Structure formats: structure tokens, C-alpha cells
Structure 1
Amino acid sequence: MATPNSVPGGHTFDNIINFRDLGTFINHTTSRDILKPGLLYRSARPDAASNHDREVLLDEIKLKTIIDLRTKTEHSEAKGKFAARQKSGPPGPPTAGETAALPSLNPDPGVDSSDHAVPATLRIEGIKYVDVDLNGKPYSNALLKQLSWRQRAKLYSLYVLGYHKEAISILGTNVLAARGLSGLAEDSLEHCGGEVKALFDLLSDEKCYPLLAHCTQGKDRTGLTVLLVLMLCDVPLEAIDRDYMLSEKELLPERQDKVKEIASIGLPESFADCEEGWAGRVCGWVEEKYGGIGKYLERCGVRAEQQERVRMLLMV
């Protein structure tokens, strides 16, 4: 059973891990009333939610919206992995296709994206789901451009032939490992302005709350989404950092398997953990490159009045 022992005011789940109420956690961490509890949540994948878990989300939390930050590859893998979710125990470890930093590699533009959708049986009736792929095409293209033409040719050849892990290892060894988790977060922010705008379109809509954001482990892409919101709401950096770093403890049951998987695609063991100083580096990059969170969001198309709407909805 997934327990909330390390998270103040947490809920008890059978199969949902790394779950927390941002308002409760931030207020407890800062000893101040900054955010309204019971509105914004974060977690790992909820695909294996038991009947009890679904009741908690629907009846206790009264969740209205789930933002799914995963790639098409991750959705495809979820089809078979969580088919028997109600009867299973805790969710299994992530696979290579679910590693947070991996882009959506799909060399065949003719593939129908609907083939990769999370099956309706894995989604909870009564909750609105919205897919926002922070590792999508703009991010993927930016990373692939950092490979030599020979490396790109080899990657695509392997991918088309079905050797997906071997293809991804070319990117992992030559690009991802060198960038590190904070560098890849900066890449996402730099190249995924449209996706950031889509996130804030939801976050500024009162009808979407209570709202849950998740990726596979609820660590990096979820952490990046939460970081932007917390920056906008004037949450101290120390509290943003503590929220991000908490995922490392929450994900310890999966760490051993995760390390094996990421090693197979050319990534260092550190990618299984939370990078020390990640929040400070990413926040500092936003400040230095764009002059602050407000200007960064405006660059993504999130106007000042929309930003103020998010603050009004979430802040005490």
C-alpha cells in the first residue's frame, strides 16, 4: 500500500505513489499560509488505481481534472502494464520508455497518435483528462539536433527496425547524460512554450479544480510543472526545493529497478534520483534568461491577467 507518512495531511492509497497536496505541503514546510489546500495535487502515474484509490480521488478529494504529462510511448506501455489494475499490488517499476527525460521519438509521421492513447479503462470515469506532452516534438527535435548526422541516422534506423532501447541509448549517451536533469528541464522550458501555455490555460480555469498533475514517477516533468506554479505564487525557493527532493524518498521502492533500466539506455544512476540543487538551478535559469517567471510565461503566451488568475485561484 502506498502510504503518505512523509507527507503532511496526505491520503492513503493502495497503488498511487508520490502523491501530495501542494497547498498543505508548502504551508507546512514554510509555516505560512501561502497556498489554498485541496486544490492542486501531484503524483506518479495513477493508472493502477484500485477501487479504493478511485474512491479517494472522487469522493474525498473530489478531483475534477488530471493533467497527464507523459509521452505517447508511455501511454502505449500503460495499455498492457496496468490492464489488471484493480487486482494488482503496487504499480511496477518504470521501464526504459518511461524515463522522465526521454523525448517522444516517432520517426514515422504517419503513425496515428490515437494508437498510443491511454485506454479508457485505465482512466477514472467522472474526471476530465488532458494530455500535455512536455517531452514532445519541439523538445525531441532540440535534443536530436545535438547529435551528429551519423548518430541521428543510426538512431532512426534502429528505431524503425524496432530496436527502441538501442536507439534511445544513442541519445542517452551522447546528449541526455551530459545535460543532466536540470539541463533537460531548461531544454523543456526553452522549447515547449506551447505546452506551458496549455498547462496554464487549465491552471487559470476555476472549473478544473481540484486538479492533479502527473507523469510516470511524478518527479521531473511534474516537478517542472509544479516549479513554475510555485514560482508564480511567490513560494520561497527552499520550499520549492524540498517539494522536488521529497520525490526521491517517495520513489525509493522503485529505485533499484529504475537504475537498471536507465543504465540500459546510457543514462547514469543519478537520473533515478532527484538532482541536488535542481530547483535552484532551474529557477535561476528562468530569472537570468527571461528576467523572471512572469516574463517567461508571457513569452509562452500566458498573459499577465491569466497569471494573476492562477495566483488568485491558488494563493491564500
Structure 2
Amino acid sequence: MATTGSCNAARQSAAALALIARSKPWTIAVQLRGSSASKTSSLISPRYMATTPGNTSLPELKSVQNFRDVASSSPATINAGLLFRTARLDTASAADWKTLQQNYGVRSTIDLRSEDEQKTSPPANTNIQHHRININGSSYSRALIAHLSVWNQARLLFNAATGKRDRAIQILGANAMKPRGLVGLATDTLDASGKEIREVFGLLSSSANYPICIYCHQGKDRTGIIITLVLLLCRVDARAVQADYARSTGDNGLTQSELAERVKELQDMGLPAEFAGTDEAFVEGVQRHCQKHYGSVEQYLGHIGVTEDMSKAVRNVLLKK
């Protein structure tokens, strides 16, 4: 029979995991107009991006940020009109959903966010298949907690268990997320979220699911991990992959007072302003991590259960013949 102490510890651990899920590790650093950090990209994309190589007549999504065709990263290599990336589709209007289906032909969406982030459900009156895969689930949360010292783990658990959510988030942000940085959090996702990434590639390996639109909150980090793996699998030059990722540092059109409020939010969470941008070493960091710990991107995918046939199927769909 479990002791009272062990039961309390279990409840506290569960509370901490739930806290991390609610704090949205990839998204609590909200987008800013820029960053003073030297490693933050200066590439700025238009607020509403809708780029598809070779077709400039397609309409934009009026209420969705950071939308683009992944083929724009390497038009000579990747087939256009098959794989799209975007920020959250919660903001999409009925007209935007119509545009996605009728103009872009989207058959499937893959939402990488947690349930807490999913404020609204996609409309039921479309033929689009919606798939929800929380890429930063409980395994990732445990990995994040593991980066804390024993003392900070105790502080986190105590504050989470006693309802001091803001303080617990600050402990997590300042002592785990900030030291890891965007690249470290990405490699943590690779190591901890293999099951979820494999599930995403299961969808990507079926030609019947295309065209596919992948998204998270900002369409930057979690989406960036998946798109980075896909493009590197397709042998797209890492510099082109990085350039595509950097385009997700967008201008949200915030007022100065709104910007100041967002900066304070970051500070309150123990995070620096550069978490709102993109890291110039992101793609290199993902690639090197795969090479160092698994041998290559392909071997990493194999390690998490993406078979050679699945990888080949992804390349067959996306690569120009």
C-alpha cells in the first residue's frame, strides 16, 4: 500500500505536470516586434503570410498569422501546394477555412498544441480532417522538470501543489527553460516526444492526407521542429531550412503599450525577450543533435519508429521528380 507521503508526492508531481501543460512551454514567450538578443533573427515576415511558389494569385488568409507553403523554402526541390505551415487556426474566419479548402485544397490539419491551447474546435462543415497531436505532452514535461536542480524541483512541486501557479511557472522558466534556450527545448522535444513525432510522420507518409497544414500556437517552434525534420529528410540545404524557420519572427502590429505588457509577461515568467523570436542556430542545433546522438536525421526518425518506407513515402510526395 502506498504511504501518505508517496501519495502526496504523486499528486504534487501530477500537479506540476498539469501546470507545465497549462503554461505552454513553447508559447509563453509571446511574439514581440523584435529582440535585442544577438542570436535572434532579424528577418521579419508580413503579418499574414500566404506564399505559394509559382502562384501569386492565391488569396491570403485574413485572420491567420504566419501561413505559408513549405515549398517556398526550396522551390526547386519541394512540390508546391502540398505542405503548409501556420500559426494557430483558432483565429481563422469562415472565409479563411473556405480559402484553405477551396483555394489551397487542404485535406488535413495537424494541430501540435496541448488541449489547453485549443480554444475553439475547427468547423465541422468542411471536408478537412483534423488531427490533434500534443507534441509536448507528459514525457516532455518530465524531461523539462529533470533539468531543474533537486532544490528547484522541490520549489516547483510545492508552489504547484499550493496553488501558486505564477511562482511555479517563474521557477520553471528561469531555471529550466531559459538555460536550455530555444535550441535546447527543441532537442528536448526530439528526445522526449518521439512517440508524438512518429505519429505526425505517420500522417505525413500517407499521400491521401495531402495537402496538409501543420500548426501550433505561433507556428514557430513546435511546427518548426517538424518542418525542419521533414526538409532535412528531403535533403534540403540546412541554410534554406533555417531561412524558412526565421521567417516566423513576425510583426504582430502591437502598440507600444501592448509590447511593454508582453515584455513584462516574459519577465514575470523568468524568460528573456529573445524567446519571442527565432534562434539563428535552431536548424543547425536540431541537425547536430540528430547526428551526435542518433547518427543522422534519418536514423533519428528510425529510432522513434519512422520506418524507411515511411520516410521514402514522405520524400516521394514532397520531392520534385
TM-score range, shorter chain: 0.7 to 0.9
C-alpha deviation, 1:4, in angstroms: 3.0
Are residue 44 (structure 1) and residue 93 (structure 2) matched?
A: no
Structure 1 length-normalised TM: 0.79
C-alpha deviation, 1:127, in angstroms: 1.6
Which residue is equivalent to 1:97?
Answer: none
Are residue 3 (structure 1) and residue 7 (structure 2) matched?
A: no
CA contact 1:185–1:282 (8 Å) conserved in 2: yes
Structure 2 length-normalised TM: 0.77
C-alpha deviation, 1:72, in angstroms: 2.6
Secondary structure in structure 2 of the residue aligned to 1:253: coil
Indicate the structure (1 or 2) with the bigger Cα radius of gyration: 2
Unmatched 5+ stretches in structure 2: 1-45
Which residue is equivalent to 1:265?
Answer: 269
- Number of residue equivalences: 268
Quick one: distance in 2 between partners of 1:260 and 1:240?
32
Q: Indicate how the Cα distance of structure 1 residues 152 and 217 shifts in structure 2: closer, same or farther if over 3 A, else same.
A: same
CA contact 1:18–1:251 (8 Å) conserved in 2: no
Secondary structure in structure 2 of the residue aligned to 1:213: strand
Equivalent AA in structure 2 for residue 23 of structure 1:
A
Q: Indicate how the Cα distance of structure 1 residues 59 and 176 shifts in structure 2: closer, same or farther if over 3 A, else same.
A: same
Which residue is equivalent to 2:301?
Answer: 297
Alignment of structure 1 residues 49-88 onto 2, 5 Å = 49-75=92-118, 78=119
CA contact 1:40–1:211 (8 Å) conserved in 2: yes
Are residue 15 (structure 1) and residue 66 (structure 2) matched?
A: no
C-alpha deviation, 1:279, in angstroms: 1.2
CA contact 1:17–1:251 (8 Å) conserved in 2: no
Secondary structure in structure 1 of the residue aligned to 2:247: helix
Equivalent AA in structure 2 for residue 146 of structure 1:
H
Unmatched 5+ stretches in structure 1: 28-32, 79-118
Quick one: distance in 2 between partners of 1:212 and 1:234?
21
Which residue is equivalent to 1:185?
Answer: 186
Which residue is equivalent to 1:246?
Answer: 247
Which residue is equivalent to 1:151?
Answer: 152
Quick one: distance in 1 between partners of 2:139 and 2:247?
29
Q: Indicate how the Cα distance of structure 1 residues 124 and 221 shifts in structure 2: closer, same or farther if over 3 A, else same.
A: farther
C-alpha deviation, 1:192, in angstroms: 1.0
Secondary structure in structure 2 of the residue aligned to 1:309: helix
CA contact 1:54–1:124 (8 Å) conserved in 2: no
CA contact 2:90–2:121 (8 Å) conserved in 1: no
Are residue 34 (structure 1) and residue 35 (structure 2) matched?
A: no
C-alpha deviation, 1:160, in angstroms: 4.0
Higher RCO by CA contacts (8 Å cutoff, separation 6 or greater): 2
Quick one: distance in 2 between partners of 1:50 and 1:219?
21
Q: Indicate how the Cα distance of structure 1 residues 5 and 232 shifts in structure 2: closer, same or farther if over 3 A, else same.
A: closer
Equivalent AA in structure 2 for residue 21 of structure 1:
D
Q: Indicate how the Cα distance of structure 1 residues 218 and 251 shifts in structure 2: closer, same or farther if over 3 A, else same.
A: farther
C-alpha deviation, 1:150, in angstroms: 3.7
Deviations 1:211-249 (A, max 9, x none): 01111000011001100000000000111010000111x
C-alpha deviation, 1:206, in angstroms: 1.1
